[in-house]
Structure 1
Amino acid sequence: MAADDYPLIKGVASKASPLVEDLLKEDPRSTPALDAKGNHFPAEKRIDLSRYLSPAFAELEKEKLWKRVWQYACREEDIPNVGDRTAYSVGPLSYMIVRVDERTIKAYANSCLHRGTRLCDGTSSGERIRCPFHGWEWNLDGTLHHIPSRWDFPFVKDNEYHLKEVKVGTWGGFIFINPDPAAGPLEDALGVLPEHFRSWGPENHFTYARARKRIRANWKVTMEAFLESYHTIETHQQILSTLADASTQYEAWESATSHVSRLYSPMAVPSPHLGDEASREAAALELAESFMMPGMEEIRFKVDPSSPLSARAQLAQWRRNLLQMFTGADYSAWPDALLLDAIQYWMFPNFCPWYGEGGPIVYQFLPDPGNPQQSIMDVRILAPKPGNGIKCPPPSPPVHLDFDESFTDKVPLFGSLSMVFDQDMANIPRVQAGLAAAHESGTDIVFGRYQEMRIRYLHEILDRQLSL
């Protein structure tokens, strides 16, 4: 029998770890996003492993994927002032995102029209865009401003030497680009994201911490490791006491123009693998410690045994109070899930924003410019913008990690997440190496029916995009 012929089991529960839909019933508050159900379930999928290995496949992705889709490039806070710019590179392609004026953001091919020199590396600022090689200059709107020794370029017409512009769109503080001049609007590609995230507001956050990690694995291998909670039982055993991995709910939303999926893992709830006797009170106490920061010792979370609220609900209320102290905003209507749980969305091809304050993380997965078996993972942790008249801090610059450098050693602001990421980094290159061996031997790979449905969905849409 094929996998799709078997009954579909959507996660398992225990007395201590209910399924998501049952957990949500414990809280009278909700949002449309939490209650939303997907409209698509990907079919059984078997794939040619060369897509993880082959330079030819990476070239196909460059031409038919990266040059043709809306993709998250950076955040608006990365270029807060007029003249600020930042580079966005995806494989061998590179673009420059520029704040032209207070309300206008443009993106250009990151290449001088004289000899091709890259115009922007990292972030920079200035009244004009100047090539570091020969000093050709453009205005922020992309129009040509100055050529040294102009007498030697009589054939250069100003109106023909405008920087090559690509489409730009913004949502929730995120900046997206699309190199395809025939592309439809960003709103069509976002699908359910604006509606679902409206109750949280990513635009009201700033980058508290950020890292960019080089990884010895194809960008899809790296991303797939973060599209499911199935690996938690083996890879992240230390968080089984606080995360209901096998109770995770998976959804996918499909339309003609957008492809979005979601993973919803309950927190402050033990894994069902730990059995009926696992303690939800202990789970709440342990999770609370991960939210602690220096200076918070006086307000450490404690479970009140006389309260009519569960330990999880008490923890959520503790977080409401903390956030209100920091921002001055009212969080009384926020569901517990929005304050505690790991709710991660994915938008094709490589954008993973998390929903809520339980895990306000943003993932971006990028192919290496020269090696299809290497990639870059960009991770941001967002924090609410402070209120009470406090000026919002500038975004944290990225910490650059080479292949063998660890999050634990280099990114202290990630807290306990650093250990989780280091555990993933130990696995991912092994997956890449194993896929290469499997391809040589003709071995097939298999995806779980439910827990790995988001990976099947990725490859389903990728096949369509690449006309495979």
Structure 2
Amino acid sequence: MTTTQPRTSEDRSNRPGDWVDTAEGLADIAPDRYNMTIPTDRYVSREIQERERETIWMKTWQVAGRVSELPEIGDWKVYQLFDQSYILVRGKDKRIRGFVNACRHRGNPLCTGRGNSKRFLCQYHLWSYDLDGKLRGILREKNLEPIDKGENSLLEVSADTCAGFVFINPDPNAAPLAEYLGAEVLEMLEPYRLDEMITVMDVREALECNWKVVVDAFSEGYHISGIHPQLLRAITIESEKSRYRFLGRHSVACSPFEVANVDKYGPEEQVDGIRELPETFPSLLRTLPRFEELVDEYRVEGEPLVFPEGVTARTVLQRATREVLTGIGLDVSALTDAQMSDNHGWVLFPNFFMTVRAGEATVILAQPDPGGDPNRCIWQITSVMWLPDEMKDVLRAEPIEVEEPGEFKYFEALQQDYEQMPRQQRGLRNKALDHLTLVSEEVVVAHFHSVLDRYLAESPGV
């Protein structure tokens, strides 16, 4: 799928990131636009999990990995969804295709994990298929009755790529990925150049909570004061300044970054707030040296630091970020100054959450438990960064599968979420609790569940 737009223009008018200047705030969203009460059975009911399987997971486009996982012809990986197994493979024409992971002879799985092959060979009776899924070899074929190879190729499933991600859709009647995502989503994501970013963290782990608990948790900032109090020392999130854009089944939200207590404290305290951020946002380490240099331009020996009108630690950070990224080769001309500092939180239905700012993004995927237990799920954390060529191989991360709970330590804020979500699931299992009550700051959660409602309504008996 082609989503690339011209990148040579220096014209900064009408950039996709300008959407925040005219987008809705909480005051613009009527309290009854979305249902703010969520039934708790959708987090704990196996019956509802089964309906989700048929009406959502088997019908929607979902991220199955990064394009960079399949760089060479013959590279393949298995994508597991409940008890359904699929192969994603890069063919000789360099296109990535998807197939049902089952031999057409007797149904034996062809692959486990990931690898590179010139063909797929079934270990049961040695039938073989090429990278396009065509049946090529049959054991002792001359001694058998004629078999139509064209009618016994691997079963293909829809696969496509966008923004450096591989998507798959099990639905044989799936609309194209570009149509599912929508033109506005593609336009708004393109300037980040996510397809050029390198994976610097890739961790998968089983969690003791429903997959929607994960989506909900990362769709709102209302919990920061309770779960991430350390962030309040460095940044302020003012809900009245948050902006939202609802794009059909998807959404994007932005709470403009601001140094904590900017009105109360002076420039030196603001600068100290920026210095604390790498504890939660490690990628800022590469920007801090230039940030310090720019701050020093405003220092006068023996006098307190003073910023001129219109300059704050935020604007200095934005300038430093733009200069650093441009200096290492990333064209950020299509991104706004605010996108240098502000994370935009994307929810792509059903299970994709991403925070993205200039030069980096963190993606959280939540998959239902392969065994169908509604009280469990798999989460995957993928962080990507734009890096110059000489740093790509040094910082590129290999996938990590966490076997024992707690053996992998995430960075501070993510670790706090990791510990909170199973706690919430334990509370949700109380039978007397039949619904959740959302507040206005959780409007993205409410929008997500309104989309979920529409899909579930397609199931008989709902």
TM-score of the superposed pair, with normalisation by structure 1: 0.81
Task: Please give the per-residue CA displacement for 1:134-185, whole angstroms capped at 9, x wherever unaligned.
Answer: 4332110011122334468647431221111111222111121222222221
Gapped runs of 5+ residues in structure 2? 1-11, 300-306
Indicate yes or no: 2:231 matched with 1:239.
yes
1:140 to 131, 135, 138: 131
Task: Please give the per-residue CA displacement for 1:354-407, whole angstroms capped at 9, x wherever unaligned.
Answer: 3323751122111111122111111111111425x8776695221122462254
Question: 1:287 — aligned with what?
Answer: 277
Indicate yes or no: 2:176 matched with 1:203.
no
Question: 1:66 — aligned with what?
Answer: 57
1:264 to 230, 251, 254: 254
Question: 2:185 — aligned with what?
Answer: 193
- Report if aligned partners of 1:29, 1:334 keep a CA contact under 8 Å in 2: no
Indicate yes or no: 2:222 matched with 1:230.
yes
Of stretches 150-159 and 307-316 in structure 1, the one that deviates more from structure 2 is: 150-159
Change (3 A) 1:312 1:125: same
Q: How does 1:91-106 map to 2 (within 5 A)?
A: 91-106=82-97
Instruction: Output the CA distance in 2 between the equivalents of 1:79 and 1:394.
Output: 18
Indicate yes or no: 2:246 matched with 1:253.
yes
Q: Secondary structure in 2 aligned to 1:404?
A: coil
2:111 to 120, 123, 126: 120
* Identity rate, percent: 29
Instruction: Output the CA distance in 2 between the equivalents of 1:453 and 1:99.
Output: 40
- Report if aligned partners of 1:43, 1:456 keep a CA contact under 8 Å in 2: yes
Instruction: Output the CA distance in 2 between the equivalents of 1:175 and 1:260.
Output: 18
Change (3 A) 1:156 1:354: farther
Question: 1:12 — aligned with what?
Answer: none
Instruction: Output the CA distance in 2 between the equivalents of 1:379 and 1:436.
Output: 26
Q: Secondary structure in 2 aligned to 1:72?
A: strand
Instruction: Output the CA distance in 1 between the equivalents of 2:350 and 2:321.
Output: 33
Question: 1:421 — aligned with what?
Answer: 414
Task: Please give the per-residue CA displacement for 1:405-435, whole angstroms capped at 9, x wherever unaligned.
Answer: 2542xxxxxxxx6221211111111111111
Q: How does 1:376-387 map to 2 (within 5 A)?
A: 376-386=378-388
- Report if aligned partners of 1:97, 1:106 keep a CA contact under 8 Å in 2: yes
Change (3 A) 1:291 1:429: closer
Question: 1:466 — aligned with what?
Answer: 456
Question: 2:326 — aligned with what?
Answer: 324
Instruction: Output the CA distance in 1 between the equivalents of 2:177 and 2:349.
Output: 12
- Report if aligned partners of 1:209, 1:381 keep a CA contact under 8 Å in 2: yes
Instruction: Output the CA distance in 2 between the equivalents of 1:141 and 1:298.
Output: 49
Instruction: Output the CA distance in 1 between the equivalents of 2:209 and 2:265.
Output: 39
Change (3 A) 1:426 1:161: same
Of stretches 105-114 and 342-351 in structure 1, the one that deviates more from structure 2 is: 105-114
Change (3 A) 1:148 1:385: farther
Gapped runs of 5+ residues in structure 1? 1-27, 409-416
Question: 1:20 — aligned with what?
Answer: none
Partner AA of 2:16 in structure 1: P
Of stretches 228-237 and 173-182 in structure 1, the one that deviates more from structure 2 is: 173-182
Task: Please give the per-residue CA displacement for 1:245-269, whole angstroms capped at 9, x wherever unaligned.
Answer: 34362424244xxx11123133352
Partner AA of 1:432 in structure 2: Q
Change (3 A) 1:429 1:58: same
Partner AA of 1:140 in structure 2: L
How much has 1:223 moved relative to structure 2? 1.6
Instruction: Output the CA distance in 1 between the equivalents of 2:256 and 2:111.
Output: 42
Indicate yes or no: 2:114 matched with 1:109.
no
Q: How many residue pairs were aligned? A: 423
Partner AA of 1:47 in structure 2: I
Partner AA of 1:46 in structure 2: T
Instruction: Output the CA distance in 2 between the equivalents of 1:121 and 1:162.
Output: 19
Q: Secondary structure in 2 aligned to 1:281?
A: helix
Instruction: Output the CA distance in 1 between the equivalents of 2:396 and 2:417.
Output: 26
- Report if aligned partners of 1:342, 1:359 keep a CA contact under 8 Å in 2: no
- Report if aligned partners of 1:366, 1:376 keep a CA contact under 8 Å in 2: yes
Partner AA of 1:399 in structure 2: I
- Report if aligned partners of 1:320, 1:339 keep a CA contact under 8 Å in 2: yes
RMSD: 3.0
- Report if aligned partners of 1:386, 1:392 keep a CA contact under 8 Å in 2: no
Indicate yes or no: 2:168 matched with 1:177.
yes
Q: How does 1:13-24 map to 2 (within 5 A)?
A: none
Task: Please give the per-residue CA displacement for 1:91-130, whole angstroms capped at 9, x wherever unaligned.
Answer: 2222111111344111011223334333232221111012
Change (3 A) 1:301 1:120: farther
Instruction: Output the CA distance in 2 between the equivalents of 1:47 and 1:293.
Output: 37
Indicate yes or no: 2:292 matched with 1:301.
yes
Question: 1:24 — aligned with what?
Answer: none
Task: Please give the per-residue CA displacement for 1:50-103, whole angstroms capped at 9, x wherever unaligned.
Answer: 211122211111111111111122221110111111122222222111111344
Task: Please give the per-residue CA displacement for 1:228-259, whole angstroms capped at 9, x wherever unaligned.
Answer: 1111101011111233334362424244xxx1
How much has 1:317 moved relative to structure 2? 2.1
